[in-house]
Amino acid sequence: MGLFDSNVHHTATRLALKGRTTLRVGVAAGVLTTWTLFNWHVGHAEAIRFIAYDLENQQAAWAPQEVTVHRNEGGEELIFILNNPTERTHAFEAPGLLEQISDQDGSPLTRPLRVTVAPGETMEVMIRFAPAESDRDPEPSCQAGSTCYRFYCPLHRGDNDPGGIIHLVH
């Protein structure tokens, strides 16, 4: 029997296809497992990804620069995923937003949102919105029916850098 014999050729082809199918099933299972683990970790929370980037004159910013979040009373959890692919440490600060953490007993606590993200690091932060302050100056770009929160990198913010804005639509 030679290599080009019809039966040998069909057997080799079936084995090659079977190997590709096994590889595809394996890759699909890996993707599904990764997605399931990530989804289990995040739960049903809405996640918003921010990425730090460097600017001129030692300044930095977070992208996207503008985010809109729609909320109902008692809405689902909100997670910020903060990614710092740069070679410098950056911070994410948003006055009026709170970071939810757990104390030593596992009870939830909140504190003002200011997170330091090391170079090459990605962090997930559970977010809560502080109650609206009546004496707070409204943002000029904030539309009726929404509350706006500024965010920026306080470590590398320029004098004329307004940072980004989060529109919370009620």
Q: Residue 70 belongs to a domain with what CATH number?
A: 2.60.40.420
User: Alpha-carbon torsion 64, 65, 71, 76, what sign?
Assistant: positive
Tokens 């997170």 sit on residue: 115
**Are 92 and 109 in the same domain?**
yes
**Are 93 and 144 in the same domain?**
yes
**Are 60 and 36 in the same domain?**
no
Q: pLDDT 10s per residue in the chain (170 long)?
A: 555 555 655 555 555 555 544 444 444 444 344 444 444 444 556 899 999 999 888 889 999 999 999 876 555 679 999 999 999 999 999 999 999 998 899 898 999 999 999 999 999 999 988 776 655 556 666 888 888 999 999 998 766 666 899 999 87
Tell me 33's DSSP state: H
**Are 160 and 142 in the same domain?**
yes
Using alpha carbons only, give the angle 136, 142, 147 rounded to the nearest 5 degrees: 55
User: What is the helix (H) or strand (E) element at residue 94, kind and residue range?
Assistant: strand 90-102
**Are 76 and 157 in the same domain?**
yes
**Are 123 and 165 in the same domain?**
yes
Question: What is the C-alpha to C-alpha distance for residues 19 and 134, in angstroms, rounded to an integer?
Answer: 65
Structural domain count, the chain:
2
Q: Where in the sequence is the domain holding 51, given as residue range(s)?
A: 46-169
Structure tokens at 114: 């200011």
Q: Answer whether 0.85 is exceeded by the pTM.
A: no
**Are 83 and 156 in the same domain?**
yes
**Are 102 and 128 in the same domain?**
yes
**Are 35 and 50 in the same domain?**
no
